[in-house]
Structure 1
Amino acid sequence: MLVSFLDQFDDQEIKKEQIIRLFNQVKAQDLEFSNSGYFALNIPNQGQIILLFWFVDSKRLILRYDKNIPTVQQGESWLTCNEQMNSKLFDIGDDTWLPLNAIISLEIALNCIAMFYDEPMSLPNETKWQNVSDVMWND
């Protein structure tokens, strides 16, 4: 599993326990220059499974699960869904717009990340998910 974490490292193999520790130690000042990263599993001759993350603040995140396998037409992508906030879009940084209803707690995000490490081919069931194509994107 290759991991990119904030502005700290890019495309490195990191164990699940280490990444959980890193997420739990994030402070507001750590998010000053970067608030995002990803976990990527390369599947030879098939594509990638990617779990992207964006910190909203040190205790809330948004996750996006991408199944980019060539046999799946245009891939499949889902965003977390908290069902409590509205779907209005906001700029999470670097002109990346995401829906407010995608924000989840650090605890839920960490459970999803742990599940992704254990079974990357399956959408983590720790939270609800919304298909990216169902989000009302502003043009």
Structure 2
Amino acid sequence: MGSLISCTVPSGAVTGITIAADGTPQVVVTVCKGRIDGAVLQEDTENSTERPKTSWSHQGAIKDFASWPLAGNAEWPLNKPLPLLPGRTYRLYASTHDNKWSGLSVRFTLDDLAALPVDQVRYVLWATGTTVTTSIAEFRAHACDKS
């Protein structure tokens, strides 16, 4: 009799989305355990084989905190643009190229981004799975709390 083995990548980080002072969306990640060196943004659809997605990569491991523009930059290049469209939900999560670690994901829409105050972070609480919005300082201080 055969057995089915399911492998998952352990979550060692919390991924959030924020709006910078200049109005641009930013990815923020607090690493709790392990490391990250990338992130993935994908449309959150029911058909996983047809999900448009893009990713960022970073040379070297991040072991504490990172932030970068959703559009990417020299340190966090975006592999291809993914236009954000009204009425669609997106899922953002930190990752590693070798699939050793990932980050808790956050879901958002364009309406969520429009309602997000500058320097506030939308992310999912580790302990409850509830989506919250807090300051960047609170995110950095408490994103890893598991209780």
Indicate whether the TM-score tops 0.5: no
Q: Which has the higher contact order (CA 8 A, sep 6+)?
A: 2
Q: Give the TM interval when normalised to the shorter protein.
A: 0.3 to 0.5
- Structure with bigger helix share is 1
TM-score scaled by length of structure 2: 0.34
Whose radius of gyration is greater, 1 or 2? 2
